[in-house]
Amino acid sequence: MVNINTVAVIGSGTMGAGIAEVAASHGHQVLIHDISADAVSRAIDGIRQRLASRVSRGKLSAEASAQILARLVPVTDIDALAAADLVIEAASERLEVKKALFARLAEICPPQTLLTSNTSSISVTAIAADIRHPERVAGLHFFNPAPVMKLVEVVSGLATSSEVANVLCELAMNWGKQPVRCQSTPGFIVNRVARPFYSEAWRALEEQVAAPEIIDAALREGGGFPMGPLELTDMIGQDVNFAVTCSVFNAFWQERRFLPSLVQQELVLAGRLGKKSGKGVYDWLGEKTTARWVDAVNDSFSPIGVHRRGDGVTQIDEVLLIETQGETAQSLAVKHSCPVVVIDRLERDVAVIAAASGNPHAATQKAVRHLQQQGYRVLHIADYPGLLIWRTVAMIANEALDALQKGVASEKDIDTAMRLGVNYPSGPIAWGERLGWQRLLTLLENLQRHYGEERYRPCSLLRQRALLESSHES
């Protein structure tokens, strides 16, 4: 295989400039191509400013900065890319544009030149379909900002040779990145497995379960995610996040679990794109809205008798506090003929609760008082099956197992991708193992029964793992 000395980057936007900076920082001459010479100049100026900042903070020497900048070569004539050993395309996310561009690259570059795309969701197989030597075409998907984020998805299309994928993985490691290998399927690993994180939050907002800041606080403080899903979409850009969801939804032939949100579509249509436009889910120009936690309940509601059962149920005087398994508090209250409060919590100090509509106020307050005495901060939401944290984690883990079963990537690479690509507190498969496959299965089955939708269908591998788990416990 070819030694990679010269790297060409097509596209001088945020991702293209970031990738060029990474390659130049690791000793490669980098040809930066764009149809606009001004765009290339702006990209190099941006790199110069970032390097200067690192120099001022003592993170980089002035000499090293000058050497990196000297390796950046602006190119407006695409024919000059024939000198590259590796081409990384970071241009428009439109298949027809990429196909035309790669066809041109295949004509001007020698057969040993590796041709890669930084696409986040477009099929690598489709990009390579009509060009000569499609075995050298692969996806090389960096995450933004490329100089900082460690993850790189190395994506193989149907024709991509294993040798090419190996070379790209080795190169990524030499650049200080963590590569994960995956097959070319919609969304690859990260943009596929992450969809439920957003979609379940949008559904909760659509069903008026809680205010946006409550939903975000539950997932951030209670689930351990670095940001809540709604505030994250505001940071990404509602138009960008919505477009990826639509792309994945359509690529999976309108699979219901990837269904886009009408609420998010309304924001996009209104131009409320998030932080970049000043308004999205939140008003970024006004005072920040924060979650309202349940106030401390006074001693008059202190329970007299507390009895813990082994099935996730705690009896507090006349009220049952039940850990969520996907049923509403009201349905459980009818089943048990007593007041019920459902609780949603992981291994943190946050508890999300929902109370049956028929509960006496005193019964619900006793449950809240008990949780506060145990050191929990409490968020109270409408009665909603699966609540927020467990429901979201169950859907993410289910999607990860579906990707594993269908050969998208290995278990290790899926978990690595989600930890490094979107900073999840745990890989979803390791998380599911720890939380218990049987409970996740039960929760999804209850959600499917409640909604009557395929969206919550447990995948076959989840059922298999739950069965194995049960057989080991018996």
Question: Bigger pLDDT: 133 or 471?
Answer: 133
Domain count, the chain: 3
**Residue 201 CB partners (closer than 8 Å, separation 6+):** 215, 216, 219, 228, 229, 230, 388, 392
Query: What is the H or E stretch that residue 181 is in?
Result: strand 178-183
Distance of alpha carbon 218 from alpha carbon 212, whole angstroms: 10
Q: What is the mean pLDDT of the chain?
A: 95
Catalytic, 120? Answer yes
**Residue that is last in its domain, among 380, 401, 426:** 380
Domain membership of residue 1 (yes or no) is no
Buried b (16+ CB within 10 A) or exposed e, 134-161: bbbbbbbbbbeebbebbbbbbbbbebbb
Q: Could you say which DSSP state residue 91 is in?
A: -
Q: Which of these is catalytic: 65, 118, 156, 191?
A: 191
Q: What is the pLDDT of residues 79-119, one digit of tens each?
A: 999 999 999 999 888 899 999 999 999 999 999 999 999 99
Q: What is the band of 474 on the pLDDT scale with cuts at 50, 70, 90?
A: low
CB half-sphere exposure, 434, CA atoms < 13 A: 11
Q: Which of these is catalytic: 12, 28, 89, 153?
A: 153
> What is the biggest distance separating any 2 CA atoms in the chain, rounded to whole angstroms?
81
Instruction: Examine the domain organization and report whether 122 and 68 are in the same domain.
Output: yes
Catalytic, 191? Answer yes
Domain membership of residue 351 (yes or no) is yes
**Residue 467 CB partners (closer than 8 Å, separation 6+):** none
Catalytic, 141? Answer yes
Instruction: Examine the domain organization and report whether 127 and 175 are in the same domain.
Output: yes
Is the previous residue joined to 111 through a cis bond, with omega within 30 degrees of 0? no
Instruction: Examine the domain organization and report whether 178 and 196 are in the same domain.
Output: no
Q: What is the pLDDT of residues 299-340, one digit of tens each?
A: 989 888 889 887 899 999 999 999 999 999 999 999 999 999
Instruction: Examine the domain organization and report whether 242 and 166 are in the same domain.
Output: no
Q: Is the dihedral of CA 214, 220, 221, 223 positive or negative?
A: positive
User: What token pair was written down for 410?
Assistant: 């290995």
**Residue 424 CB partners (closer than 8 Å, separation 6+):** 225, 396, 418, 431
- For the chain, the C-alpha Rg in angstroms (whole number) is 25
In this prediction, residue 340 carries a pLDDT of 97
Query: What is the H or E stretch that residue 413 is in?
Result: helix 411-421
Instruction: Examine the domain organization and report whether 303 and 319 are in the same domain.
Output: yes
Q: What is the pLDDT of residues 392-433, one digit of tens each?
A: 999 999 999 999 999 999 999 999 999 999 999 999 999 999
Instruction: Examine the domain organization and report whether 320 and 356 are in the same domain.
Output: yes
Q: Could you say which DSSP state residue 7 is in?
A: E
The residue range of the domain holding 170 is 6-183
In this prediction, residue 18 carries a pLDDT of 96
Catalytic, 153? Answer yes
Ramachandran quadrant class, 254 (left: phi over 0; alpha: psi -120 to 50; beta: rest): left
Q: pTM (2 decimals)?
A: 0.94
Q: Is residue 234 pLDDT above 90, yes or no?
A: yes
**Residue that is last in its domain, among 380, 406, 433:** 380
Q: What is the pLDDT of residues 266-301, one digit of tens each?
A: 999 999 999 999 999 999 998 888 999 999 999 989
In this prediction, residue 442 carries a pLDDT of 97
Q: Which of these is catalytic: 12, 33, 118, 141?
A: 141
Q: Is residue 1 pLDDT above 60, yes or no?
A: no
Q: Which of these is catalytic: 118, 120, 123, 398?
A: 120
Instruction: Examine the domain organization and report whether 147 and 223 are in the same domain.
Output: no
**Residue that is last in its domain, among 380, 402, 429:** 380
DSSP of 140-163: EEE-SSTTT--EEEEEE-TT--HH
